[in-house]
């Protein structure tokens, strides 16, 4: 995380970070550890949510303890729990729903994306507490356990990994994965990696339906065990399920700043940033993580890189040194298929079961993510 910088503490600098996810929490940690400036991180939850581990929390009771990383332990007095309702950039103030006003010299938007539960719990519990979140996932384990046929809609990383987790923990369950595209995971994956995902899931017993669009999602009771539900596709197929889980529908969480930064937003709600993460047309405003329009895979380690670059460039500015522009790195993705293996791609190389289990499947980066913010993950 870096030692204390030789640059003096910046008395006239107050960095306010809206969003305590991977990028926001790590940026807070870096700035505090380097004793660089005053920092405040704002989030309506009391934790940084380690979403990568959330899918295993769906099938193993108690695993959710590793999902929720306490922001108070990460940030101490620098953490303010609340929801940013409005930005008054003319007066450099963040206004919370409670009416509390927090002034800044530098503003960082790190609010990420929202997607359906169970991939991200904030879609159903935006102000979730650690205790509540653990119970929500533990209760969901029960819903899966009593469902003999589970349908996962969406074949991106969330759908793939969830299907693998369910079949690993409940091998007698029928699991169907419905994917509108003709591949699983990511379009950027090499052909042999895409094929390995399909092979791995089929070996677990997952049934995969490619090129199918579900047409009656709004009529289904999602995430609740209910016998006799019929998932209907546009091609006319009907799949009877006890449990239907949506794994599609990411949206960028920038609604709160549309009024003031609307000219800097793309049509999809991402903030346009330059190579130094400054929001275009907005002096003193930065964005990191999933909310940016940088063309790269939106993954947790990428948000961490953003935080590192932003910190080092502020230190460079303070020491009259040259800033380093951010350039997206090589595409990498590890896809666990349950806790015993998976496949992936790193710098163009294909990884198999043994390596993916060692790197990710075993603990889903929990030790790394908690360690990056100076904490140890709880035992489950």
Query: Using the 8-state DSSP alphabet, how is residue 34 labeled?
Result: T
- Residues 330-346, buried b or exposed e (16+ Cβ, 10 A)? ebbbbbbbbbebbbbbe
How many angstroms separate the CA atoms of 62 and 374, rounded? Answer: 22
From residue 84, give the alpha-carbon distance in Å to each of 21, 95, 103, 176. 14, 6, 12, 39
Residue 7 to residue 72: CA distance in whole angstroms: 26
pTM: 0.96
Q: Is the pLDDT of residue 344 over 50?
A: yes
Q: How large is the average pLDDT for residues 238-245?
A: 98
Q: Nearest Cα to 313, choosing from 73, 3, 7?
A: 7
Instruction: Determine the pLDDT at residue 4.
Output: 73
**Mean pLDDT in residue range 140-154:** 98
Domains of the chain and any CATH numbers = 10-44+82-115+250-328 (3.50.50.60), 146-248 (3.50.50.60)
Q: What are phi and psi of 145, to 5 degrees?
A: -60, -35
What mean pLDDT value characterizes the chain?
96
What is the per-residue pLDDT across 64-118, written as a single tens digit (0 to 9) for each? 999 999 999 999 999 999 999 999 999 999 999 999 999 999 999 999 999 999 9
* pLDDT confidence band for 5 (50 / 70 / 90): confident
Phi, then psi, of 116 in degrees rounded to 5: -60, 150
In terms of phi and psi (left: phi > 0; alpha: psi -120 to 50; beta: otherwise), the region of 19 is left
User: How big is the chain, counted in residues?
Assistant: 380
Q: For the purposes of burial, counting CB atoms within 10 Å of the CB of 108, is it exposed (0-12), middle (13-18) or buried (19 or more)?
A: buried
- What is the DSSP annotation of 210-275? ES--BS-GGGS-BTS--TTEEEEBTTS-EEEESEEEE----EE--GGGHHHHGGGB-TTSPBPB-T
Q: What is the pLDDT of residue 1?
A: 43
DSSP state of 306: H
How confident is the model over 202-222, as a mean pLDDT? 97
Torsions phi, psi of 182, nearest 5? -105, 20
d(CA 100, CA 323): 34
Q: Give residue-wise pLDDT tens across range 153-176.
A: 999 999 999 999 999 999 999 999
């Amino acid at each position: 995380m870096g030692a204390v910088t030789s640059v003096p503490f910046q008395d006239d600098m107050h960095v306010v970070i809206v969003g305590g996810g991977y990028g926001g929490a790590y940026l807070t940690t870096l700035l505090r550890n380097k004793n660089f400036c005053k920092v405040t991180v704002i989030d309506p939850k009391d934790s940084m949510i380690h979403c990568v581990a959330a899918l295993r929390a769906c099938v193993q009771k108690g695993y959710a303890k590793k999902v929720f990383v306490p922001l108070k332990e990460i940030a101490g007095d620098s953490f303010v729990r609340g929801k940013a309702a409005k930005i008054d950039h003319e007066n450099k103030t963040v206004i919370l729903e409670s009416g509390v006003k927090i002034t800044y010299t530098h503003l960082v938007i790190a609010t990420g994306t929202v997607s359906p539960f169970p991939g991200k719990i904030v879609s159903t519990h935006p102000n979730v507490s650690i205790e509540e979140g653990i119970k929500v996932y533990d209760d969901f384990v029960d819903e899966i356990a009593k469902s003999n046929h589970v349908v996962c809609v969406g074949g991106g990383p969330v759908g793939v990994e969830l299907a693998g987790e369910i079949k690993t923990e409940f091998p007698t369950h029928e699991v169907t994965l419905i994917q509108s595209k003709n591949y699983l995971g990511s379009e950027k994956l090499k052909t042999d990696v895409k094929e390995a995902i399909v092979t791995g899931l089929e070996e677990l017993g997952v049934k995969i339906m490619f090129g199918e669009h579900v047409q009656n999602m709004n009529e289904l009771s999602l995430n609740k065990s209910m016998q006799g539900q019929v998932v209907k596709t546009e091609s006319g197929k009907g799949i009877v399920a006890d449990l239907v889980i949506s794994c599609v529908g990411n949206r960028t969480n920038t609604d709160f700043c549309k009024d003031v930064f609307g000219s800097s937003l793309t049509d999809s709600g991402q903030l346009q940033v330059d190579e130094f993460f400054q929001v275009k047309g907005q002096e003193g405003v930065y964005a990191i993580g999933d909310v940016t329009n940088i063309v790269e895979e939106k993954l947790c380690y990428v948000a961490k890189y953003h935080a590192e670059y932003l910190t080092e460039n502020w230190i460079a500015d303070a020491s009259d040194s040259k800033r380093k522009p951010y350039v997206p790195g090589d595409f990498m993705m590890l896809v666990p298929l349950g806790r015993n293996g998976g496949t992936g791609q790193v710098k163009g190389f294909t990884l198999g079961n043994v390596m993916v289990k060692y790197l990710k499947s075993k603990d889903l980066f929990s030790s790394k993510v908690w360690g990056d913010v100076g904490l140890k993950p709880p035992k489950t």
